Chain A
Amino acid sequence: MNNKKIPNNTLKDIRAKLNNYPDSLKDNFEISLKLVSEIFTKEETILWALVGLKIAQVTTRSWEPSLEFYRATPNIIKYLPFNYIIQWGESGLDLSTESPTLASSYFKASKDTIKKLRSRHIDSWALSGKSLYNGTWKSSTLACQFFEHSPSIVKSLTFPQIEKFISILKIISNNSFDLASDSLTISTNIFGILGKNNEEFLELLPNIMESNFRELKGFLEACSKSLNKIDSNERINFIKIVIKLMQNGEMNIPMHITEMSKSLNEIDKENHSSILNLATSLEGSNSIYFINSVPKVLEKLTDNQLIKWVDTGKNIYKTNVEGALAFFKIESSYSEEVIENLSSSIELSRIKEIMELYCRGLAGSEINLENTGDLVEKNIGWVSNEAPSTEGSTVYLPAVTDKYTSKTDNFNWYKVVSTHQVAHVEFGSFRFNFTKPSIAFKDLRYKLEEKKIHNDENYKSQTWITDIQRFFNMFTDRQLSLDIFTVVEDGRLDERIKYEYPGVKNAYIKIQTDSFKQRKPIQELPAREALVELIVRIGLQELKSIPVPKEHKNAAKEIVLIANQVFNHSASVEDVAEATLRIYAIISQISNDNIDQDNWDNIDIDDINQEYNDSDDMDQLIENISQIPDTESNKDEQEYTPSEQVDYRGDFKPELSQLLNELRNQGEMSEDSNKDSNLTQQMLEEMFQSSAEIDVDSNVSEMQNASGKFANNILKETGVNINQQDYGDGAPSHVDEDGGALDPNEPQTFVYDEWDFRAGDYKPRWCIVHQKEMPEGDPNFYTTTLHSYRPLVQRIQRQFEMMVPETFRKVRKLDDGEDFDIDDVIEAMIDIKTGNSPNEKFYWRRNKVQRDVAVALLLDTSASTAEAIDDSKKPGDDWDAPDDPVKYMEWLKKRKSEGARRSYKRIIDVEKESIVLLINALESIGDMYGIYGFSGYGRENVEFYNIKDLHENFSENIKQRIDRISPLHATRMGPAIRHTITKLQKAEARTKLLFLISDGRPQDRGYSREGVEKEYAVHDTKMALDEAKKEDINAFCLTVDKSGHDYLKTMCEDIGYEVLDDIHALPERLLYLYRRLTM
């Protein structure tokens, strides 16, 4: 139509024709014409005018849409090109032939609709409206309504969605036009509320229509009123839940919607997601009652506890649908009970900090508190997720405890358990010394060992690493000896604790009694196990009527006597060993038979109160232990099952724990001297295979695998260098001894001397420092770090704010000032009287005092900082990392190229995070600070990176530079320190501080001749630090190298240093030290 030839009609004709209609039409035409003629060509204007005329000519009442057409045009014209304007008009013309009312609505809605609609959709839009019309009066209303609502519909829906919506409306209208009209109106509102989820909503709508047509209106009405109360992202999920309910035939849907949304409204919006997810997981009408109950339940439960509560309800549902309903309505007493129980449960994470300090206080050593799951994850021999345990440096506790119905009791349980676990450390379970004499008993250990050696030629060659292993090696039935030892030792600790800590005694006894109640009846056990159980019970202070097999009553009494010797506060772990030996001698002689009900007799422990004395014939006893038992045992004999754990005592693995401790100590000591232990991985594996502490329910080859893995993990855990294959492949060693002084030719290079400790003199102009600016990366690292350390950041902020000195301080003895100081005036008077020359400076003034600190932070960015620190996530092959920096680099590159993606934290990452926190803190107190990274490769290539120069202001760029700090090459500390000194010298400040953060010893290619490299490096670094001191710069070294003590002692003779055991503590520690050092 736009290709029409120039029409014959002229505007004059059109005007004439328009005169046939009410004046208002022509008026509107004239108004619009003015604007239109300015934009369109003459021909176009005529075409436009003609469309209006045509519309008017359709029927008698079609002058109305024509009027709307003209009226709307000025508003449309800015959105549409001419072609489309005509098309738009013709679509209206088309509608007019159907119904002028419809066309009027169409034109009226156009102004606001077309703003949002793509031009090419205008036609379809008109058709959509038209499709709703079937000639009836009601359908006309519907279609008009559609146009009326179009402006808001196009705001929330895309055009394909609109089409979908129309098709839905059509289906509804097949049933009832009224319903369709209502749905249209209400849905429009809902679309506005749902926003981006409309697509899904449109998908869902047909489901509702299928399930229950009559409810549709109610559903939509309720939704449009209620959805606002729900978190915007979760509204669609809410609708899904409702639809599921409808499909299940639930009645009264609108009411439910209203109530559920009301109840959600009472909850924080951030929780809506988790709650609706929970509700989605529920069957039947449960979700309604669940959601309705949630506000009430959440008053008592935490989020995690809520999940548990829901799980319980789900389980009920499996067997009892009604019961589940009552449960979620909280109309069953069981439900309330569960809530009570859950709300009284305590999560470890909440009390961790307090308990950790508590444990540290008790033990007097660095004890960490972890979740038992972490120990299992380490895969070093512990397997239980539930049982508390310790391996000497960390106490592992279950993540949650809900054993009791009151919070206090549950807390007490944690306390008792931690006290018991710490007692292993505090009272020396792991300090067992084979050669330390026992006090309560005569020592039979050596005799037994001699006997063993005498009897068995191979015995001597048995390897042992720890004393406790040496002890257990002597017993044929290792499991039995371990059981006796642990049970007796635990009993000893319990007594010791109750003696040392009377305050915890009551709680302790209560828990002991409860543990006792949980134990299997002793009569169900075969003879041997019954006797071990007897010791457990004495340990739990159950002293009345303990059943024992009649046949072994005397043996039982003997055991009681022995146990009583060590169940007191003065016994030592060596006493326990001797007691173990004696009890073992008795029990191992007894066949593990089942005992008839009638053959039990009770003993009262209180009645057995004579002193224990070794019998005269101890040699026989030793003989008994050392002999190898008959393999031909009788048929009734049951296989010995290890004693059931006492829950609060948890998992006690003396052998593994002592091993770990020993290895840790070795790991710390052997680093420097290279006198690595004579321990081999094989020895460790053997140990694992022989130890009874590892569950051996797998076949032999699996066991070997597992023990290999354990051994490997243990070594990682303790950081011991085990004799490993030498990776040296004969690469030439670098000796950069030769050559002479260097000259810095390039800009930004500096030359420094280096100290040669053998010559006792400096090597002149020996190292070149290349100063570079750190490239820029992503500034988000900075923000993210601050965010993830939020609690710490806040604390630090507070502490640092306290550091800022009072801004104004009275300064005395001035020539001029606010007022005179009466003391100084008097002094001056006195001086005049006594004939001395008076000090005339007796004014004072409030002066602004500023902290006057300049600090340079020197960051080791050597390749080794790429090492992962989170052991559990560490890729398995870190162990073959070569020591030599050159090879290390290659190795690292190779590994990177293999696509090992980094999901773990590296040392450098923690260093970076620390920097971020420090910057954040320093900005608040306004100290002058510089941050530098260094690394390098050989003496002519010491790289020195400016991350923030002393005088630079903190800016976005610096945030970006921090992101780019990454591990580079080797660590040549001396020149870097010297360069930093130069920088600090230029700074004007009263206090100057040089803070060196490193992850290991100084190390570089060609640091002097092979062999003395390490010493040379350490001495040079020491000299550099001394130079700092001479310049009145306080130096401080912070290292995360656990074996740092040995060389730091030399390196930082009278300079402060600190070795961080736990790299995770770096950020906090750094800031703490900073505060201390500059105060």
Chain B
Amino acid sequence: MAKSTKTLYRSYIIEEYNLTEEPYYLPVNDEVELFEAAYKQRIPVIFKGPTGCGKTRFIEYMSYKIGVPLTKVKKQDTQKQNNIPLVTIACHEDLTASDLVGRYLLEGDKTVWIDGPLTRAVKAGGICYLDEIVEARKDTTVIIHPLTDHRRILPVEKKGELLEAAEGFLLVLSYNPGYQSALKDLKQSTRQRFISVEFDYPSRDAEAEIIKHESGVDIQTSTQLAKLGEKVRNLKEHGLQEGSSTRLLIYAGKLISQGIKPRRACQVAINWAVTDDMSIQQSISELISSIFE
């Protein structure tokens, strides 16, 4: 056997991570047109919507879609050049401003400046997607303000620099209003810098189509899954914090397409995933056993 080391993974530099294939996305509403229009005018966007309804998928889809011009103008390989990098940052409670902007690191007795993801997106002219923005500390959210108005600049305090955003840069936030509480709410000064696109779970037919595409089950099964999703969502506010996401339905579909019995697949992928409450579990389990043989 040859003793060559083979890299089993691929790693990308943030700016160079481009989607090579078109991500699957089924438009539910007019969100595609809205986003395109907003992007052209570089208006920052907030996605609101429950978990697992396709916000992240949508932004991937849009970054790809915008990156690929509909008509190729020149003979050059425009496709690659126009790709827009997508920088996704998952926000959490301890996310500090320097985590976003960048920091000096010690290297031996020298210091080296390392750009944070936001800075890199600003420089590369990509779409910077801040996921679950309400989770981030309030002081962190303030640093994005200058990027979101006409200035389009990012102050890099430590270096004493102002960074002007490259042409393609756009800031996109997402948050789930379902978790909103009095303490965790976006400040008006922040939210009024964005347009808001609302996401919700797709209609039964559309969702069935999505599940079918993503999980590879037949349309009948995917319709049943979508139906189950709908019924479980009906239980929201009756003890269930959040309905089952499209993502979970897809998981269930994937299990089914791997040969797991539908009832069992729904049990683990949907029922037990959405709640720990025994009595709700039993109710959902009855729903499952009604819908699936």
Contact across chains for B183 and A501 when beta carbons are under 8 A apart: no
A890 contacts across to B, CB distance below 8 A = none
Q: For window 332-378 of chain A, which residues contact chain B by CB distance below 8 Å?
A: 353-358, 360-365
User: CB-defined interface of B279-293 with A at 8 Å, one 1/0 digit per residue?
Assistant: 110111011111111
Inter-subunit contact A357/B283 (CB<8 Å)? yes
Is B232 part of the contact surface with A, judged by Cβ < 8 Å?
yes
Cβ of B235 within 8 Å of any chain A Cβ, yes or no, is yes
Which of B182, B224, B279, B293 is within 8 Å of A1078, CB to CB? B182
Given the contacts A361-B283, A829-B106, A419 and B290 also touching, CB distance less than 8 Å: yes
> Is the pair A362, B234 in contact by a Cβ cutoff of 8 Å?
yes
Task: Give A992's nearest chain B residue, CB to CB.
Answer: B182
In the complex, A500 has a CB within 8 A of chain B: yes
**Chain B residues near A500 (CB-CB < 8 A):** 227, 291
Chain A residue contacts of B110, Cβ below 8 A = 833
When A827-B103, A833-B111, A834-B104 are in contact, do A358 and B287 touch as well, CB less than 8 Å? Answer: yes
Are B280 and A1077 interface neighbours, CB within 8 A?
A: no
B80, CB-defined interface residue at 8 Å: no
What 0/1 pattern do residues 218 to 242 of B give for CB contact below 8 A with A? 0000001001001110110011000
A991 sits at the interface (CB 8 A): yes
Contact across chains for A504 and B279 when beta carbons are under 8 A apart: no
B187 at interface (Cβ–Cβ under 8 A)? Answer: no
Report which of A362, A365, A833, A1034 forms a contact with B287, defined as CB distance below 8 A. A362
Contact at A501–B283, with CB atoms within 8 Å? Answer: no
A-side contacts of B109, CB under 8 Å: 833
Q: How far is the CA of A353 from the CA of B284 in the complex (A)?
A: 12
- In the bound complex, CA of A357 to CA of B234 (Å): 9
Interface residue? B263 (CB, 8 A): yes
Q: CA–CA, A779 to B280, complex, Å?
A: 36
Q: Which of A361, A501, A834, A1076 contacts B284 (CB 8 A)?
A: A361
- Are B181 and A836 in touch, CB under 8 angstroms? no
Once the chains bind, are A415 and B290 in contact (CB under 8 Å)?
A: yes
In the bound complex, residues from chain A placing their C-beta under 8 Å from that of B291 are: 500-503
Bound-state CA distance A4–B288 (Å) is 100
Closest Cβ of chain B to A967, distance in Å, is 30
A361 and B181 contacting across the interface, CB-CB below 8 Å: no
Within 8 A of B (CB), among A939-982: none
Q: Which residues of chain A from 775 to 810 have a CB within 8 Å of any chain B CB?
A: none
Whole-angstrom distance between the alpha carbons of A218 and B182 in the complex?
76
Residue A6, interface by CB 8 Å: no
Cβ-closest chain B residue relative to A990: B183
B293 to chain A, nearest CB (A): 5
- Distance (whole angstroms) from the CB of A349 to the closest CB of chain B: 13
A495-508 CB mask vs B (1 if < 8 Å, else 0) is 00000111111100
Q: Output the nearest chain B residue to A1069 by Cβ-Cβ distance.
A: B237
CB distance from A1045 to the nearest CB of B (A): 16
- A830 lies within 8 A of B283 (CB): no
Contacts of A251 in B (CB 8 A): none
For residue B73, CB closer than 8 A to chain A, the reply is no
Count A-B pairs with CB separation below 8 Å.
Answer: 94
| Neighbouring B residues of A356 by C-beta, 8 Å | 283
In the complex, chain A residues whose CB is within 8 Å of the CB of B280: 357
Q: Kindly state whether residue A1079 has any CB partner on chain B within 8 Å.
A: yes
Check B70 for interface membership: any CB of A closer than 8 A.
Answer: no
Q: B105 within 8 Å of A by Cβ?
A: yes
**In the complex, B158 has a CB within 8 A of chain A:** yes
The answer for the CA separation of A1009 and B120 in the assembled complex, in Å, is: 64
Report A607-635 residues with CB < 8 Å from chain B CB.
Answer: none
Chain B residue with the shortest CB-CB distance to A357: B283
Are B104 and A361 in touch, CB under 8 angstroms? Answer: no
Instruction: Tell yes or no: A993 within 8 A of B by CB.
Output: yes
Q: Which residue in chain B gives the minimum CB-CB distance to A832?
A: B111
B182 pairs with A503, CB closer than 8 A: no
* Docked pose: A103 CA to B103 CA in angstroms: 108
**CA gap between A365 and B291 in the complex, in Å:** 18
Contact A991 B227 (CB under 8 A): no
CB within 8 Å of B: which A1050-1079 residues: 1076-1079
Count of chain A residues with a beta carbon within 8 Å of a chain B beta carbon:
36
B contact residues around A831 at 8 Å (CB):
104
Q: How would residues 97 to 110 of chain B score, 1 for a CB under 8 Å from any chain A CB and 0 otherwise? A: 00000011110011
Query: Complex formed: what's the CA distance from A356 to B158 in Å?
Result: 59
- The reply to whether B287 and A1077 form a contact with Cβ atoms under 8 Å apart is no
Specify which chain B residues have a CB less than 8 angstroms from the CB of A415 in the assembled complex: 286, 290
**Hey, which chain B residues are within 8 Å of A363, CB to CB?**
234
Shortest Cβ distance from B18 into chain A, in angstroms?
Answer: 33
Which B residue sits closest to A419, measured CB to CB? B290
Decide if B182 touches A1077 in the complex (CB within 8 Å).
yes
How far does the alpha carbon of A612 sit from the alpha carbon of B64 in the complex, in Å? 53
A629, B220: Cα distance in complex, Å: 50
Residues in chain A near residue B106, CB distance under 8 A = 826, 829-830, 833
CA distance A1059 to B194 in the complex (A): 31
Q: Is the CB of A503 within 8 A of B292?
A: yes
- State in angstroms the CA–CA spacing of A1076 and B263 once bound together: 33
> Residue A503 contacts which of B103, B105, B239, B290 (CB distance < 8 angstroms)?
B290
Chain A residue at smallest Cβ distance from B286: A358
- Docked pose: A943 CA to B288 CA in angstroms: 54
A366: nearest chain-B partner, CB-CB: B238
With A and B bound together, what is the CA distance between A831 and B287 in angstroms? 60
CA of A67 to CA of B290, assembled, Å? 92
* Contacting pair B182 A991 (CB below 8 A): yes
The answer to whether A354 and B282 touch (CB under 8 A), given A364-B231, A500-B227, A501-B290, is yes
Give the docked Cα–Cα distance between A916 and B293 (Å). 47
Q: Is the CB of A504 within 8 A of B238?
A: no
Docked Cα-Cα span, A504 to B293, in Å, equals 7
Specify which chain A residues have a CB less than 8 angstroms from the CB of B235 in the assembled complex. 357, 360-361
Report the bound CA distance from A503 to B231 in whole Å. Answer: 14
Question: Which residues of chain A in 394-424 are interfacial with respect to chain B, using CB atoms and an 8 Å cutoff?
Answer: 415, 419
Q: Name the one of A361, A829, A834 contacting B234, with C-beta atoms under 8 angstroms.
A: A361
| Residues of B106-140 contacting chain A, CB below 8 A | 106, 109-111
CB distance from A464 to the nearest CB of B (A): 32
Chain A residues with CB below 8 A from B287, complex form: 358, 361-362
Q: How far is the CA of A501 from the CA of B232 in the complex (A)?
A: 14
A505 touches B293 (CB 8 A): yes
How far does the alpha carbon of A505 sit from the alpha carbon of B289 in the complex, in Å?
10
Central interface residue in B110, B111, B158, B235, by most chain A CB within 10 Å: B111
> Looking at the complex, which one of A354, A505, A826, A991 makes contact with B286 (CB distance below 8 Å)?
A354
User: Please, how many angstroms separate the alpha-carbon atoms of A841 and B286 in the complex?
Assistant: 57
Q: In chain B, what residue has the closest Cβ to A1033?
A: B182
Knowing A360-B238, A991-B182, say if A836 contacts B158 (CB, 8 Å).
yes
Q: B residues within 8 A CB of A1078?
A: 181-183
| B281 nearest in chain A by CB position | A354
Contacts of B234 in A (CB 8 A): 360-365
Q: How far is the CA of A993 from the CA of B286 in the complex (A)?
A: 40
* Chain A residues with CB below 8 A from B286, complex form: 354-355, 358, 415
Knowing A829-B106, A1034-B182, the reply to whether A364 touches B292 (Cβ < 8 A) is: no
Residues of A contacting B183 with CB < 8 Å? 991, 1078-1079
Q: How far is the CB of A607 from chain B (nearest CB, A)?
A: 29
Residues of A within 8 A of B293 (CB): 502-503, 505-506
How near does chain A come to B109, taking the closest CB pair, in angstroms? 8
Contact B111 A357 (CB under 8 A): no
Are A830 and B289 in contact (CB-based, < 8 A)? Answer: no
What 0/1 readout, one digit per residue, does chain A (817-841) give for beta carbons within 8 Å of chain B?
0000000001101110110100000
Closest 9 CB pairs of A and B: A357-B283, A830-B104, A364-B234, A501-B290, A361-B231, A504-B290, A1079-B181, A1034-B182, A358-B286
Question: Could you write out 15 A-B pairs with CB less than 8 Å apart?
Answer: A354-B279, A354-B286, A357-B280, A357-B284, A361-B232, A364-B231, A365-B234, A500-B291, A503-B291, A504-B290, A827-B104, A834-B111, A1078-B183, A1079-B181, A1079-B183
Q: Which residues of B contact A (CB under 8 A)?
A: 103-106, 109-111, 158, 181-184, 224, 227, 230-232, 234-235, 238-239, 263, 279-280, 282-284, 286-293
What 4 additional pairs, Cβ within 8 angstroms, besides A502-B292, A502-B293, A504-B289? A353-B279, A354-B286, A360-B235, A833-B111
